[in-house]
A and B are shown apart, each in its own frame.
Chain A
Amino acid sequence: DAMVIQNPRYQVTQFGKPVTLSCSQTLNHNVMYWYQQKSSQAPKLLFHYYDKDFNNEADTPDNFQSRRPNTSFCFLDIRSPGLGDAAMYLCATSTRSGSGKPDTQYFGPGTRLTVL
């Protein structure tokens, strides 16, 4: 089945220790997104890639970086995690058709990050 996969599902890191979360997709979608979601809050878009074109949200901290080495994979790097970065990190994909209709986003299961 075509899907969006995130690894690991649960990640524990120490304050200040760099961590990388990964996302892969078999949908062959050209857009990949990273969201941060805290409990009972709306998903917050951090950035997205349209093919190789990187789009950073204005309020995304510099502590968060992303890489997309190919169509299928996208990584979220948190350079120096703080306690406030503990959250669920969601990867989503969509296909941008250029028809003027918004993309439907398909989400992976998420990675729950704990910062000790």
Chain B
Amino acid sequence: GQNIDQPTEMTATEGAIVQINCTYQTSGFNGLFWYQQHAGEAPTFLSYNVLDGLEEKGRFSSFLSRSKGYSYLLLKELQMKDSASYLCAPVDSNYQLIWGAGTKLIIKP
């Protein structure tokens, strides 16, 4: 079957760094998306990785290891507005996104 595993909730301090991990098992693999979702709002696109390694985009970076079925999202210089859920979504052999339940990130001053 297909399975996504992310921590349910994490807490971090403003200005710090946090890493949100995601492990996955899918039927085939065609890359992995990360989305940010603020409470009561729609998901917004953050990143897409298809090759192994780290992709940096400003304060956010995303890492992928296909052989390990593992990805992480790294957030630096945390701001209060980064309080949100972060959804990991690998893409299966049918090009369907398989959504995780998300990690709720709480930022404290």
A41 touches B33 (CB 8 A): no
**What is the interface size of chain B, counting residues whose CB is below 8 A from a CB of the partner?**
23
Besides A43-B87, A108-B42, A110-B40, 20 new A-B residue pairs in contact (Cβ under 8 A), listed by A number = A40-B101, A42-B4, A42-B99, A42-B101, A43-B43, A43-B99, A45-B99, A88-B40, A101-B30, A102-B31, A102-B33, A102-B91, A102-B95, A102-B97, A104-B33, A104-B48, A105-B97, A106-B45, A107-B42, A110-B41
How close is A47's CB to chain B, nearest CB, in angstroms?
Answer: 12
| 0 or 1 for each of A32-61: is its CB under 8 Å from B? (1 = yes) | 000000001111110000000000000000
Residues of A within 8 A of B91 (CB): 102
B100 close to A102 (CB less than 8 A): no
| B13 beta carbon closer than 8 Å to chain A | no
